Amino acid sequence: MKQVDQTYVRFPLARRIEHWVMMLSFVILGTTGLPQRFSDAAPSQVILGILGGIENLRSIHHAAAIVMMFGTAYHLLIMGYSVFVRRDQMSMLPSLQDARDGLRALLYNIGIAKTYPQMGRYTFEEKMEYWAFVWGTVIMGATGFLMWNPITATQYLPGQIVPAAKAAHGGEAVLAVLAIIVWHIYGVHIKRFNRAMFTGLQTEQEMLHEHPLELADLKAGIANRTPDAATLRKRKMIYYPIAAVLTMGMLAGILGFINTEETALTTITPLTETQIYSPQTPQP
């Protein structure tokens, strides 16, 4: 009888749903954003035709951006709960060891080092992807606000900031999409198909290959020990009011982002009478 390999929980359901929501919003943003960046390309014209024109394309793009903003706010609140209440290890923070692991992985791939580096909860590659996504979100959010609210932006900043934001927004979008296609899809779905975001689980063999240090901590029973009920209750009483204030602040920020101003077509007072310039001819 074939022995069943033991499995370990890698991502709970809530984290998997969060990942899928962010992934879908990212795909929609890329699909509707790149046709605006490369409007003359044939695929862009096809997408514009399918979605019914540029206005529909922009509306879908804005809706996906709002979803990503809410997803980012949720992620911050969950991270706060994980770090403050549960006191989970901040394993996603980069460290000097990640640089060592990256160098050793390079030496292993070119045949100099004999062994691949052993890593814990997150590998140096996963950390780089995560913080690249954080950086991209900050850049896209800031430049997106400037383009979404150009009148407000130019009340406090030089007018050149809007075309500069447009260039940075488009360039970062191309970089982000290429990073997902070339790096993430290859590393997670082609080189080794990682099912953790689908099932939430990894087998012991997969853990031994990708996260041996975390596997050792799990077997030793020292990986993110859960505090006792009384301690959790005290920490929750402190964190929940803080989280409520943060939630209200982030909601206000998102609403301000999307409602700061209307478009120029609706803010300019329409002319009630048509005025035609008619020069006077001097009379003798």
- Confidence (pLDDT) at 260: 83
- Answer for the pair 212, 116: CB distance below 8 angstroms, yes or no: no
Mean pLDDT across the stretch 74-101? 93
Cβ-based burial of 65 (10 A; exposed 0-12, middle 13-18, buried ≥19): buried
Q: Which residue has the higher pLDDT, 50 or 273?
A: 50
Is the pLDDT at 44 greater than 50, yes or no? yes
CA distances from 269 to 124, 258, 275 (A): 55, 22, 15
- Confidence (pLDDT) at 264: 47
Least confident of 123-137, 167-181, 252-266: 252-266
- Confidence (pLDDT) at 266: 53
- Where in the chain are the domains? 10-222+247-259
Mean pLDDT across the stretch 62-90? 93
- Answer for the pair 201, 6: CB distance below 8 angstroms, yes or no: no
AA letter at 268: I
- Answer for the pair 66, 72: CB distance below 8 angstroms, yes or no: no
- Confidence (pLDDT) at 95: 93
User: What share of the chain has pLDDT > 70, as a percent?
Assistant: 90
pLDDT digits (tens, 9 = 90+) for 112-146: 999 999 999 999 999 999 999 999 999 999 999 99
Mean pLDDT across the stretch 205-233? 87
pTM, 2 dp: 0.85
> Would you state the structure tokens that stand for residue 209, as one six-digit string?
């290959």
User: What share of the chain has pLDDT > 90, as a percent?
Assistant: 66
Is the pLDDT at 2 greater than 80, yes or no? no
- Confidence (pLDDT) at 1: 47
User: CB within 8 A of 140, min separation 6: which ones?
Assistant: 169, 172, 173, 176
> Is the CATH code 1.20.950.20 the one for domain 10-222+247-259?
yes
What is the overall mean pLDDT for the chain?
88
Mean pLDDT across the stretch 94-98? 94
The 10 Å CB-count burial string (b at 16+, else e) for 14-30 is eebebeeebeebbebbb
